[in-house]
Structure 1
Amino acid sequence: MSEDVEMVEVIIREIRKAAEEEIKRILSEAEKEAKRIVEEAKVKAKELREEKIRQLLHEHRSKIEREYAPKRLEIKRSYIKNKYEKLLSYFNEILSEVSKDIRNNKEEYTEFLKNVMEKAFTSIKSDVIVVHPCKGETTLVKEIIEPYVKSNPSLKGKSYAIGEEIDCDGGLFFESKDKREYYNGTMKAKITEIRETLLPVIAEKLLSDL
């Protein structure tokens, strides 16, 4: 009988021991799981805070961009306008200096006059062309035009007459006898052509640099 009691007690102790170990294991796993959940919650909370901060920064930046976009555009336009005006002024100064240098150099000015003569005689279809020199340049034009016409076979059948002098800063003005055709070969007209050709290129360059 006593042996049976002892056996029962041993069994009870073993069961109790196993139960205690299982409880410890369960508690340990529960503690680990609780820590994991807490850590995940911390990470999630941090991510939510960071996302909220990013969202607030994005909203703030978008608001600033909306408010200052018109001002930024105005500043950009003002910048382009100022830079364009400075370049235009500088460009005009260069053209003015070049035209003065050409007029002050007889050889270069003679070549310029021959060049506009060629373009005028080619573009005007009339057989008789009236040539108007700038004031004070009739003698020079006569010295150039007669040998030029005689030495140019493509002008065969063309004739010319020296018309009244006009108020201009170099070059020549050509027109047909019936005044239906004309060619503006004055220095001012040539400068205008150059300006109209190059200024769009300059403007495009300014815009592309922004």
Structure 2
Amino acid sequence: MSLDTVVEDIRDEARTRAEEIRAEGEQRAEQIIEEAEADAEEVEADAEAEVERTIEQEREQALSSAKLEAKQARLEARRELLQDVYDDVESEIAALEGERREALTRTLLSAAAPEFEGADSARVRGREEDADLLEMICEDHDGFEVGEPVDCLGGVVVESEGSRVRVNNTFDSVLEEVWEDNLREISERLFEER
């Protein structure tokens, strides 16, 4: 075997080995590229899923916020309507006249009178416009006299200094009590919530 043959064998072996290394390198490079592409696809899918979750969450929050705003607007409209009804009732009560006003005022004073049995005197106060009516009604009750007017729709406030008793039987207080006791029913009738 000559030196040239040995050199050629070594070269062939080196070329074969180089070819094997290059093939292994290409195979490894392809494997790395495939893994990188798979990782990139996974990262992209995760990112898309996260974006979808974020969009859904923001949509739910916006929907929830819109529902809350609508509910608040509905409640505010109901409050305003209930206040309008209350104001209308107050106006109707303030406008009561004649026998109806007298009968109601007498009833309210008679309801308060038992609280002042045994008292030497009681002061009956009411709306300034009802002063003459109160004078007339007080004549039916011993020791009752008309006092300074109070700001109210009508009815009476009866006080006794001796016993420090005060009974508020004004139209306002009766309306407030009736309103509070029947607010649910009033609301149901106005808004048909049955």
Asked if these proteins are the same fold (TM beyond 0.5), I'd say yes
* Separation of aligned partners in 2, 1:206 and 1:93: 14
User: How many residues are matched?
Assistant: 139
Give 1:173's aligned residue.
157
The answer as to 2:114 corresponding to 1:122 is yes
Contact map agreement 1:80 1:206 (CA 8 A) in 2 = no
State TM-score, norm by structure 1: 0.52
The answer as to 2:82 corresponding to 1:90 is no
Give 1:164's aligned residue.
147
**Deviation of 1:175 (Å):** 0.9
* Separation of aligned partners in 2, 1:182 and 1:99: 23
CA RMSD of aligned residues (A): 3.4
| Cα distance change, pair 125–72 in 1 and its aligned pair in 2 (3 A) | farther
Structure number with greater CO (CA < 8 Å, separation at least 6) is: 1
| Cα distance change, pair 200–122 in 1 and its aligned pair in 2 (3 A) | farther
Identity of aligned residues (%): 20
**Deviation of 1:109 (Å):** 1.0
* Separation of aligned partners in 2, 1:69 and 1:97: 42
For 1:1-210, list aligned pairs within 5 A.
Answer: 63=57, 64-100=59-95, 102=96, 104=97, 106-124=98-116, 127-128=119-120, 129-147=122-140, 149=141, 159-168=142-151, 169-178=153-162, 180-203=164-187, 209=193
The unaligned stretches of length 5 or more in structure 2 are 1-52
* Separation of aligned partners in 2, 1:68 and 1:177: 61
**Deviation of 1:116 (Å):** 0.6
* Residue-by-residue CA offset, 1:161-208 (whole Å, 9 max, x unaligned): 314231434222101232621111223333322333333444567898
One-letter amino acid of the counterpart of residue 115, structure 1 = T
| Cα distance change, pair 133–204 in 1 and its aligned pair in 2 (3 A) | closer
The unaligned stretches of length 5 or more in structure 1 are 1-58, 150-158
3-state DSSP class of the match of 1:137?
A: helix
* Separation of aligned partners in 1, 2:190 and 2:102: 37
